[in-house]
Amino acid sequence: MTLANKAAIVTGSTSGIGLGIATALAEAGASVMLNGFGNPDEIEQVRAELATRTGVDVRYSAADMSDPSSVIQMVKDAESVFGKVDILVNNAGIQHVAAIDEFPADRWHKILAINLSSNFFAMQAVIPGMKARGFGRIVMVASAHGLVGSPFKSAYVAAKHGQVGLTKVAALELAETGITVNAVCPGYVRTPLVEGQIADQMKAHNLDREEVIKTVILGSQPNKRFVEVAEMGAVVAFLCSDMAQSITGISLPVDGAWTAR
Ligand code: NAD
C-alpha cells in the first residue's frame, strides 16, 4: 500500500493517536501537516525526525481547532505548501468529566467546537479541491463513545455521536465524487492522556497499576488490552488507500469488542 504523492492534514497530531496516524501516513509516503499544541522545540524535533526518517515533506500548523477561521487558514496553508490536500484526518479532541447538572458551559462549548465543529469547517474547506481532483479521503477519529454512552461524559459523547452522524451525511453527499468519509471508533488507546488517567486512578482507588488497568480503565474493553497508536495509524492508512475506495460512511470500532455487547 502506498500513499506516495498524497498530501495529508492530521489535526491534533503533536501527541497520541494523531501522531500515530501522521507517522503511518508519512511512512506510507504521504506529505503530512502536523497540528496541535505543545512545546515548540519538542514539536519541531518530532517534525524534523519524521521528515528525515520517512523522506516526506512534514510541516506543522499551530491552528487552534476551537476557532473556525484558524481551521480554514490551516487548510489554506496546507494547500499552499503541498499544492493540494488529499487526506484530512479530524483527530483533535479534548475531554471533560462531570455530571450534566454540574457541567461547566464553557467546557461544553469548547468540546463541541474542537471535537465536532472543527471537523465540519475543515471538511468544508477541503472538499472543493478534493472534488476538483476527483479524489479525497476524510477520516474522523471518533470513539467507542460515538456509538455508546457513558455517564459523566455528556459533551464528549454528544460530540463523538455527532462525528458519526456527520460522517454518514458527508459520505452520502460525496458518494459519486471519489471522496470517501469514514469514522474510526477506538476504545482505550495507550496515549499520554490515558497514561495520566492511570496514575490518577491509582491514587484515587489505592490500587496498583495492573489492577487499575484491568478493572477501572479496561473494565469496558472485553479483550482487556489497550489499542496501540500504531494500530490506529494502520487502520487509518488503509482507509486512505486506493483499495478502500468502496468503504465510505462507516464508523469502524477498534475497541476489543467494547461495542459488541
Ligand atoms: P492526546 O491528548 O494525546 O492528543 C490530543 C491532540 O489534540 C494533541 O496533539 C493536542 O495538542 C491536540 N489539541 C487539543 N486541543 C486542540 C486545539 N484546540 N487545537 C488543535 N489541537 C488541539 O489525546 P488522544 O488520546 O491521542 O486523542 C486523540 C483523539 O482520539 C481525540 O479526538 C480523542 O477523543 C480520540 N480518542 C482517544 C481515545 C483514547 O483512549 N486515548 C479513545 C477514543 C477516542
**Residues 114, 119, 125, 126, Cα dihedral to 10°:** 130
Q: Do the domain assignments include residue 261?
A: no
User: Residues 60, 135, 156, 258: which is the catalytic one?
Assistant: 156
Do 151 and 200 have their domain in common?
no
Number of domains the chain contains: 2
Could you list the residue range(s) of the whole structural domain that residue 70 is in?
7-187+228-253
- Ligand 1 centroid from CA 16, angstroms: 7
d(C-alpha 261, C-alpha 239), whole Å: 25
Q: Do the domain assignments include residue 259?
A: no
The pTM score is 0.97
Do 110 and 58 have their domain in common?
yes
pLDDT in tens, 186-223: 999 999 878 887 888 888 889 999 998 988 889 889 99
Question: What element of type H or E holds 175?
Answer: none
Q: Max Cα separation, the chain?
A: 57
Please identify which residue in the block is written with the cell numbers 481547532. Answer: 65
pLDDT in tens, 193-203: 788 878 888 88
Ligand 1 site-directed mutation target among 9, 17, 46, 231, most atoms within 8 Å of CB = 17
pLDDT of residue 216: 83
Worst-scoring range by mean pLDDT, 62-66, 77-81, 148-152?
148-152
d(C-alpha 243, C-alpha 246), whole Å: 8
